[in-house]
């Protein structure tokens, strides 16, 4: 049950815990923007096909290239499934996330024929969230639907996640903040601006952060990727150093020294866990950071290159073209016009 609060206060100790690891650094660096757009109430039996559209994201991003959908169950229970994956049951206080916004089915029970969820949406006249009211009159469930979106199709976070994730907010480290923000979403009219609220954007990020942390904790021993690397004290530290100071003149030797490993042991462990050698990962991340700056700032190409670790524009342009396939200036022009 959500406790109603008048305002929102983010305590410094909570904020500190959210930004001190490599996972938080990645989330912040890929500039995910989020919001809440729908208050849905169903009664059994019911089932809907669902996915988040670019129109749902419009108050936050005009042309999202990548969308993460989520559904927060306020009360009741439901089943969530995507094609080829087993359905999961989600109950009050739990959230289901779809990192790649796959078309999915939400339902009261197995075997109920789904209808098009978007056809059920009705705008609210008082500035609150859009609404869905649908079902057969049985057991009720209330769901709040939201999203995280970004304008760039490449980032290591999304590629490493399964199509469906669930989080129990009652067990989340940021439970109080999530509940406060969700109460803000479902309880206050904001004249159509609610989906773009910074509070709700923060809520969406917190939900994803909790989901990814739980998933990382449960990754099997055979899987690679930077989430797997985060669980290793030495490699997790190296990833954090790379993300916290991308422009530093890192070498394999300097990173190995920082995490108290020999050069060969560091390369072997990093490559085994993350899937690529450390300097290959560093270069890739520098280019992702550079793309964000090219899109979101007025810095010159040379200035962007310097902020990600290149002393000259020529060196940065060569590295960018090798990684992305086109030089930074035309890449910026192409994506800005889009």
Q: Any long-range contacts for 249-252 (C-beta under 8 Å, 24+ apart)?
A: 249/309, 250/278, 250/279, 250/282, 250/309, 251/279, 252/277, 252/278, 252/279
| Sequence ranges of the domains in the chain | 12-217, 226-337
Please state the CATH superfamily assignment of the domain spanning residues 12-217 in this structure: Jelly Rolls (2.60.120.10)
> What's the rounded Cα separation, in Å, for the pair 327 and 287?
11
Higher pLDDT, 106 or 171: 106
pLDDT in tens, 235-283: 888 988 888 888 999 999 999 999 999 999 999 999 998 889 999 999 9
Band of pLDDT at residue 10, cut at 50, 70 and 90:
very low
48-52, 84-88, 124-128, 234-238: range with lowest mean pLDDT: 124-128
Note whether 12-217 and 226-337 share their fold. Answer: no
Lowest mean pLDDT among 5-9, 34-38, 76-80, 101-105: 5-9
200, 34 contact by CB (below 8 A): yes
Least confident of 43-52, 55-64, 143-152, 276-285: 55-64
What are the φ and ψ backbone dihedral angles of 69, each rounded to 5 degrees?
A: -95, 150
pLDDT at 130 (0 to 100): 86
226-337 under CATH 1.10.10.60, yes or no: yes
- Between CA 228 and CA 125 the distance in angstroms is 47
- pLDDT bin (cut points 50, 70, 90) of residue 167 is confident
Choose among 27, 4, 21, 38: nearest CA to 288. Answer: 27
In terms of DSSP bridges, do strands 94-98 and 165-168 run parallel, antiparallel, or are they unpaired?
antiparallel
In this prediction, residue 196 carries a pLDDT of 44
Would you state the structure tokens that stand for residue 19, as one six-digit string?
């930004």
Mean pLDDT of 113-125: 90
Q: How far apart are CA 46 and CA 50, in angstroms?
A: 13
pLDDT-derived band at 172, boundaries 50, 70, 90? low
- State the number of CA atoms in the 13 A half-sphere of 274 facing the CB: 27
This prediction has a pTM of 0.67
C-alpha 201/C-alpha 206 separation (Å) is 9
Residue 98: how many other CB atoms lie within 10 Å = 24
Tell me the percentage of the chain whose pLDDT exceeds 90: 38
First to last CA, the chain: 43
Who has greater pLDDT, 53 or 22? 53
């Amino acid at each position: 049950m959500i406790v109603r609060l008048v305002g929102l206060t983010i305590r410094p100790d909570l904020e500190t815990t959210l930004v001190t690891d490599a996972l938080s650094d990645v989330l912040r660096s890929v500039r995910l923007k989020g919001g809440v757009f729908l208050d849905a109430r169903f009664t059994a039996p019911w089932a809907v096909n669902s996915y988040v559209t670019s129109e749902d994201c419009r108050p936050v991003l005009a042309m999202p290239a990548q969308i993460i959908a989520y559904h927060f169950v306020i009360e009741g229970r439901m089943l969530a499934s995507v094609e080829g994956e087993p359905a999961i049951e989600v109950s009050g206080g739990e959230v289901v996330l779809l990192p790649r916004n796959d078309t999915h089915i939400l339902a009261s029970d197995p075997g109920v024929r789904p209808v098009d969820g978007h056809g059920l949406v009705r705008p609210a006249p008082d500035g609150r969230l859009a609404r869905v009211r649908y079902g057969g009159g049985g057991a009720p469930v209330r769901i709040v639907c939201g999203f995280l979106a970004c304008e760039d199709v490449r980032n290591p976070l999304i590629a490493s996640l399964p199509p469906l994730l669930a989080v129990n907010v009652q067990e989340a480290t940021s439970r109080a903040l999530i509940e406060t923000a969700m109460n803000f979403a479902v309880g206050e009219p904001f004249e159509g601006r609610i989906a773009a609220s910074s509070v709700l954007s923060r809520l969406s990020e917190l939900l994803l952060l909790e989901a990814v942390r739980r998933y990382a904790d449960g990754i099997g021993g055979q899987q690679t990727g930077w989430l797997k690397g985060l669980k290793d004290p030495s490699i997790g530290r190296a990833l954090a150093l790379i993300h916290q100071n991308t422009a530093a003149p890192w070498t394999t030797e300097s990173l190995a020294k920082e995490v108290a490993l020999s050069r060969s042991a560091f390369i072997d462990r990093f490559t085994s866990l993350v899937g690529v050698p450390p300097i290959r990962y560093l270069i890739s991340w520098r280019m992702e950071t550079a793309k964000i700056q090219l899109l979101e700032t007025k810095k010159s190409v040379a200035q962007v290159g310097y902020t990600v670790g290149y002393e000259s524009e020529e060196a940065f342009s060569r590295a960018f073209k090798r990684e992305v396939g086109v030089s930074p200036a035309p890449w910026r022009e192409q994506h800005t016009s889009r």
